[in-house]
Each structure stands twice: as C-alpha cells, then as structure tokens.
Structure 1
Amino acid sequence: MKTPNLVVVGSLNMDLVVSSSRMPLVGETIEGEAIHYIPGGKGANQAVGCARLGANVAMVGAVGDDAFGAQLIDGLAEAGASTDRVARLTGVPTGTATILHTPEDNCIVIVPGANGQVTPDMVEASRDVIKAADALLVQLEVPLPAVERALRIAREAGVVTILNPAPAKPLPEAMLSLADWVTPNETEFAALGGGAAEDDASLAAAIERWEARYGNRLVVTLGSRGAATVESGRLRVAPAPKATPVDTTGAGDCLNAAFAFGLASGRSVEDALDFAVRAASLSVTRFGAQAGMPTLSEAEAAFAERSGDA
C-alpha cells in the first residue's frame, strides 16, 4: 500500500494536569499532589497519530512564542510530522487546557490562545500542501472560518476531506457539505441534529437520513463498542477488542488519524474502519494522548488479530 500524504489543520495545546485529593472550595487554597505537562490539542494529537503510522503529514496551526509552543513543535517533529506550517505568534500564548483531577471527578479550563488566532488567510498560505494531500483532517478547536477554508481548498482540489466535529457545536449546512466524511461520537451526532439513537436500527436510519441530506459519509464512534457506518443500506459496526483502559483521552483522535491513514493508503472503507478501531483500542492502554498513539507495526498486528476475537 502507498504511503499517504496527509494534512491536519487544527489545534495545538499544552495540557496541565493537576492532581489533588479533592476539589478546593470557593476561595480555598489546597495542596496538590502532582502536575503533568502533556502535549495535546485535537489537531496535534491527530497529526502525531498519522505520523506514528508512517504517513507524510503536515500540521497547519499556531502556537505562541513561549516555551509550551516550542515543546509542542519539538514533539510533533520528533513524531515525524512536518511543522513548517505551524505559525509562532508573537505576544500570544500557546493554547492550554488546565485540568484539575481528583479521584472522584475533574474540571477543565481551556484557554485557546494561539488556536483562537488561526485565520482563513493562515490556512490559505498552506493551500499548496493541502492541494497535494491525499486526505485532509480537521476538527473544531480553531475558528470555524479557518476550518471551512481548509475544507473548501481540499474539496476544490479533489482531496478527501474528513471532519471530526469535536468539540460539539452547531455547524453551518454549507460547511458540513464540504466534508466527504464526518466522524462524530454519539453525543456530537445528536448535537449536529442527527438525533439520539436508541438501537442499531434507529442509528442506521439516522445515518442514512444524514447522508441523504449532506451528500457525504458518516462514521459514528461508539466508545467501547467500536464505530459504525452504513454500507449498502446496512449498519456495519467495527467492534472494538477488549482492552483495559489506562487513558482514553486521545482515543477519538487516534481513530480519526488511523481512519484517514487507512483510506489514503488505499484500504476499503471496511478495512480502514476496522484498522482505526483497533488502533484506538491500543491507544487507550497507554498514558497520554500523543504518547499512546501506536506505530504502524503495532496497529497492523492488532488488525491482523481481528478474526480471532470472540
């Protein structure tokens, strides 16, 4: 199979994970147990996922001119992703997600920083690499006009477009129609107007209604069940193998990266989805969204074992 050329337009964050025994009360100061600095952002996670699988991948986005930005760029480069199209913005902080984690719960504060400064013109400056790609991956952690411009450039060039509509938010119909594939989880699908599915039959009907309306294909991720699509009028669920989860943070990003890799490598939709689900199942057995992304040999080994599952 060919080595795919992929482009990811999206976010780069540094996740600050603070662990404590409990949440502080309003106005209270407590002592924490640990802090971890974990590279994240859905765009960067997906770019690392593609690169680990062996794709030629270019990341398009922005960081600040600070230490976090430098660390994120270094991490992408170390994974094998091209960072030439990641802007370093002066006087703007790199995007962060501060996560207060306790044994019972967690709360998150996101500061978009440089991610919120990604403009259509910045995406336009990468028109050449988008047009040369086999597939484009986008998400919703950078402003929607930038996402739409990336989709439009790719669509005009005949590049396969994959929209991962996360985090969930309402989207213009014209923007949704620019995607060849849309990959929501069940909550995101409901937020986009697909409705809540009570069973496989209602999910199949909802997917068919969506595809008739927008003229594209849908993959709905189902958590530990796997992921579903409709083929020849039938719901097909790619089942997830049993796994003991350590960190599920980057599972969806891994699935999207591996699905894009599979399609752009020439796999059938069925094989690409099976491959993606198995890669994502591997990723949750390791700590850290980017650190958990599997290599091609690891994902291939898991894919080859699918016939032996109960």
Structure 2
Amino acid sequence: MAPARGTVAVIGSINVDLLLMVDRLPAAGETVLGTGGTLSPGGKGANQAVAAARQGASVLMVGAVGSDANAAEATRLLHKSGVSLDLVATAGGPTGLAVVSVDRNAENSIVVIPGANQHVDASAVSVALPRLRSCDVVVLQGELPLATTDFALRELRGTGVLVVLNLAPVIPLPAESIRSVDVLIVNEHEAVEALRLLSKETKIQAGHEMDDDDDAVRIGVALADSLVSSGIPSAIVTLGARGAVVGRSEGSVHVPPVAVDAVDTTGAGDAFVGAVAAGLAEGLTLHAAAELAVAVAAQSVISYGAQESYPWRSGNAPALS
C-alpha cells in the first residue's frame, strides 16, 4: 500500500550535473583521464524534491532554470517524478551547472555554478507563500542566495508549517533564523560550522576520516546534543556510511546504517533530506523518518548519478508505458 501523500514544498536550486568518472580525483595542477561527460538532472533542491516525491509526498518546487537548452534536462526527472513546477521560473542566462567527479572509491568532488538559481529572490518566495503555508513541510538548503533563504525562514516562522533546513553548503544565516527551523539536517563538518554561526564554541572535530565507527557515532551524538542545546528544536547529523544521529531535547539517538556496496555517493545527502521530508509529511516521527532516509540514501549510492539513483517507495512508481 502506498503511504499517505503529505505535502512538501522545496525552495531550492535546480541544476544539470556533468558527471565525470575518474580513477582518482586529481591533485592541484594535475590532469587525469576520465570517462562519462554526460549531463543529468541535479541541484540540491531538485534532488530533494525528486527524493520526496518518490517516497510518496505531493511535492511543489520553487526555483528557477535558465533560458538555455539545459533547462529541459534539469527538470526532466522532476516532471517524471510528479513534482509540480508551477512556481519554477525561467530566468535569462544559463541553468545552474554542477561538475561532479567520482573516483573508484565512490568519493566525489563537486564544483557548482549557480546560473539561474541566483535569480530566485524574495519576490519569488512571496509569490509562493500562499501555497507554502498550506504545505505540511517546507525544505530549504544553502544553494540559493542568502537573502532569499533568510527571507523564507522569517516568513514561515509561526505559520504552523514544519520547516526543514539542510544547511548545505553552510551559508552565514543569522542565528535566530537557524533557530526558527523545526529540523536542522547537517553532516558532521556542517554541524561544526552551524555551531559557530550559533555563537557556540566547540572543540568537537568532525569524523569523516576516522576509522573507528564508535568514535564517529560518539562525535555525531555530541554534535547533535550541542545543536539542540544551542536552541535548535531538532537536529539530524548525517554520518554517511555510519548512519545518522537524531537529536532532540530528550537526548540523541543513533540510527544505524544499511550496508551496501557504494559506487557513487553523489546526491546521497539530498536523498536523505527528501526522504525525511516525505516521512514527516506522512506523519512519521522524526526518528522513523530518519530510519526511512537512511535506507533511501543507502539505495541511492549503489548506482551512478543523483536523481536517477533515487528509489521509488513501493506503490509510487509510475506505470510503464
């Protein structure tokens, strides 16, 4: 049975991704040979919208594409996944572009050119506000202009809409805006930067490079606890292949990973965020939504690309024509 279709709005970036596969990521000044070179849909906002839609949510996208040929490719899987594009504008100039290099260990390096995303301003959010206020969940990230994201957070405060902020990349939002969200989702490194924005000094070090899973989870718990104690109502710290930590006022809990053989981690964090939003819109608890998201993110890394790799929840996939 398909889950109940809660409503999710995503205010965020829409890109095309240029995917390059290399044996290893180049050092500074080094040239390496690779394969790939194909364009596919991307952008953190669009990725999260597709992930949420494929997990059963009714999704509205607020953003912009350019007036170039890449706009059609950028929105192809948003269309296919059933995301409403009524509030996606066409701006002059190019669609946003991300150049993604993936090595043999599934690690990636990404350069993003904002393009049309930089034209998503406060007026675009203002136009969308009546529909945003009727949604169960609104999701934002860090790939739109700072002023746009801050305006949206201020306008959504106190409306009863559940606001999820994925502070990635980390942008210097005012502390009061970050504290106004219902759920903050960050990885370990972003959590440290978020704590600095919240004027909370921390000696906690992020643990991606650590081999000890127990130490990495302990760090994740400490970061989630610190975010909550700094005034964030709820926080999720993602730990990649080590799962995630859900932080609440009653304490932080580790959500264990789902073991898979990863080939490309591109967009896995966005798959996680989209799945959390869909779960919350459906009525799941934050912990249950995080469990769903860990499973969805794990499925997303076993094939190449971002949106193409996102799984459909049972009963949601469109019928084959």
Give the shorter-chain TM-score range.
0.7 to 0.9
> Take 2:104 and 2:291, find their aligned partners in 1: how far apart are those partners?
33
For the pair 1:12 / 2:29, whether they are aligned, the reply is: no
Distance 1:263 1:99, change over 3 A: closer
> Take 2:258 and 2:94, find their aligned partners in 1: how far apart are those partners?
40
> Take 1:101 and 1:135, find their aligned partners in 2: how far apart are those partners?
32
For the pair 1:279 / 2:296, whether they are aligned, the reply is: yes
What's the counterpart of residue 146 of structure 1?
148
> Take 1:223 and 1:21, find their aligned partners in 2: how far apart are those partners?
21
Q: Is the 8 A contact 1:14 1:38 kept in 2?
A: yes
> Take 1:155 and 1:291, find their aligned partners in 2: how far apart are those partners?
34
> Take 2:21 and 2:161, find their aligned partners in 1: how far apart are those partners?
43
**AA matched with 1:280:** A
The alpha carbon displacement at 1:62 in A equals 0.7
Distance 1:25 1:257, change over 3 A: closer
**Percent identity for Structure 1 against Structure 2:** 37
What's the counterpart of residue 221 of structure 2?
204
Q: Is the 8 A contact 2:104 2:263 kept in 1?
A: no
Q: Structure 2 stretches of 5 or more lacking a match?
A: 196-201, 208-214, 317-321
More displaced, 217-226 or 106-115? 106-115
The alpha carbon displacement at 1:214 in A equals 2.1
> Take 2:161 and 2:269, find their aligned partners in 1: how far apart are those partners?
22
What's the counterpart of residue 302 of structure 1?
none
> Take 1:32 and 1:224, find their aligned partners in 2: how far apart are those partners?
26
What's the counterpart of residue 98 of structure 1?
99
Q: Is the 8 A contact 1:171 1:192 kept in 2?
A: no
> Take 1:46 and 1:102, find their aligned partners in 2: how far apart are those partners?
23
For residue 132 of structure 1, give the secondary structure of its aligned residue in structure 2: coil
Q: Is the 8 A contact 1:170 1:191 kept in 2?
A: no
For residue 273 of structure 2, give the secondary structure of its aligned residue in structure 1: helix
Distance 1:31 1:207, change over 3 A: closer
Query: How many residue pairs were aligned?
Result: 297
The alpha carbon displacement at 1:275 in A equals 1.1
The alpha carbon displacement at 1:26 in A equals 6.2
> Take 1:116 and 1:7, find their aligned partners in 2: how far apart are those partners?
19
C-alpha root-mean-square deviation of aligned residues, in Å? 2.7
Distance 1:163 1:27, change over 3 A: closer
The alpha carbon displacement at 1:213 in A equals 2.3
For residue 146 of structure 1, give the secondary structure of its aligned residue in structure 2: helix
The alpha carbon displacement at 1:190 in A equals 1.2
Instruction: State the TM-score, normalizing by the size of structure 1.
Output: 0.86
Q: Is the 8 A contact 1:11 1:41 kept in 2?
A: yes
More displaced, 93-102 or 194-203? 194-203
For the pair 1:180 / 2:182, whether they are aligned, the reply is: yes
**AA matched with 1:3:** R
What's the counterpart of residue 306 of structure 1?
none
What's the counterpart of residue 254 of structure 1?
271
1:268 to 285, 288, 291: 285
Q: Is the 8 A contact 1:141 1:166 kept in 2?
A: yes
For residue 186 of structure 2, give the secondary structure of its aligned residue in structure 1: coil
Distance 1:203 1:34, change over 3 A: closer
1:40 to 39, 42, 47: 42
> Take 1:128 and 1:135, find their aligned partners in 2: how far apart are those partners?
14
- Mapping for residues 42-121 of structure 1, pairs under 5 Å: 42-90=44-92, 92-100=93-101, 108-121=110-123
The alpha carbon displacement at 1:8 in A equals 0.2
> Take 1:246 and 1:32, find their aligned partners in 2: how far apart are those partners?
15
> Take 1:255 and 1:163, find their aligned partners in 2: how far apart are those partners?
13
For residue 214 of structure 1, give the secondary structure of its aligned residue in structure 2: coil
> Take 1:17 and 1:154, find their aligned partners in 2: how far apart are those partners?
35
**AA matched with 1:93:** P
> Take 2:270 and 2:248, find their aligned partners in 1: how far apart are those partners?
23
**AA matched with 2:12:** G
Distance 1:209 1:99, change over 3 A: closer
2:236 to 196, 202, 219: 219
Instruction: State the TM-score, normalizing by the size of structure 2.
Output: 0.84
The alpha carbon displacement at 1:279 in A equals 1.2
Distance 1:248 1:130, change over 3 A: same
Distance 1:128 1:244, change over 3 A: same
The alpha carbon displacement at 1:246 in A equals 1.9
The alpha carbon displacement at 1:7 in A equals 0.1
